[in-house]
Amino acid sequence: MSTDTKKIALITGANKGIGLETARQLGKLGITILVGVRDLAKGEAALAELKKDGVVAKLLKLDVDDPADYKKAFEAIEQEFGVLDILINNAGILIDSRSGNATSTTSPELLRKTFDTNFFAVVALTQTLLPLLRKSNAGRIVNLSSILASLTLHATPGSPIYDAKTFAYDSSKTALNAFTIHLAHELQGTKIKVNSAHPGWVKTDMGGEGAVMDIVEGAKTSVELATLPDDGPTGGFFHLGNSLSW
């Protein structure tokens, strides 16, 4: 086991986009980054990029859609570090049609695939790694959600997302927010904080060309929640320090 007292952070889907930028920003704070990736070749490219920026990072084979990888990840982290300080559940998919509200024709298959990655995988991975987070002096769990998870805003005419209805994605992130609330409640009184992050509408493969925020800005909420002080919030839903409606 390493005797290094530096914090250890695992970020899923960290080979590109917001995940990679989050790794870069946390790494520049002196945190050791475990780059969770499905594709090791893409992961190697990300690792090289991080190392150019002076970030201490290691690859961790972690396909969030493959439960067999969860136990292997636990064992690898336990063996090398003995603890996990930060878990950022960043990996996610949006496979809905974007041509308008297609709720009535969204297939069960599309719903299941979306929920498998965006909800069930996050719950199962977090449960697997929780014993390592309990060993941290300041455990932090960040669930990458979206403003599109907000039932309040979806139901409010004139809200920024009122006409943005991607049913499978939105509801999977609403379920993820429920996990945040429930887990944070269970972990009250511990050193672990659990929060949901809305990164913003970011210029990534998922965000698309119309997005208004750059990736550097898009990673800031995750970084803030991953590095909260002892008196910071838990069980909340945030964007750049501001609370969002559930």
Q: Identity (one letter) of the amino acid at 114?
A: T
Question: Which of these, 86, 91, 90, 62, lies nearest to 76 by C-alpha position?
Answer: 62
Angle CA(229)–CA(64)–CA(108) in degrees, nearest 5? 115
Q: Give the whole-angstrom CA distance, residue 139 versus residue 132.
A: 9
Task: Give the active site residue among 7, 70, 169, 203.
Answer: 169
Do the beta carbons of residue 136 and residue 191 sit within 8 Å?
yes
Task: Give the active site residue among 7, 173, 193, 220.
Answer: 173
Tokens standing for 126? Answer: 């977090």
Query: Which SS3 state, helix, strand or coil, does residue 10 take?
Result: strand
169 labelled catalytic:
yes
Q: Give the whole-angstrom CA distance, residue 181 versus residue 167.
A: 21
70 labelled catalytic:
no
Do the beta carbons of residue 92 and residue 170 sit within 8 Å?
no
State the angle between helix axes of 167-186 and 108-115 in degrees (0 to 180), rounded to the nearest 10.
40
Which amino acids are annotated catalytic? 169, 173
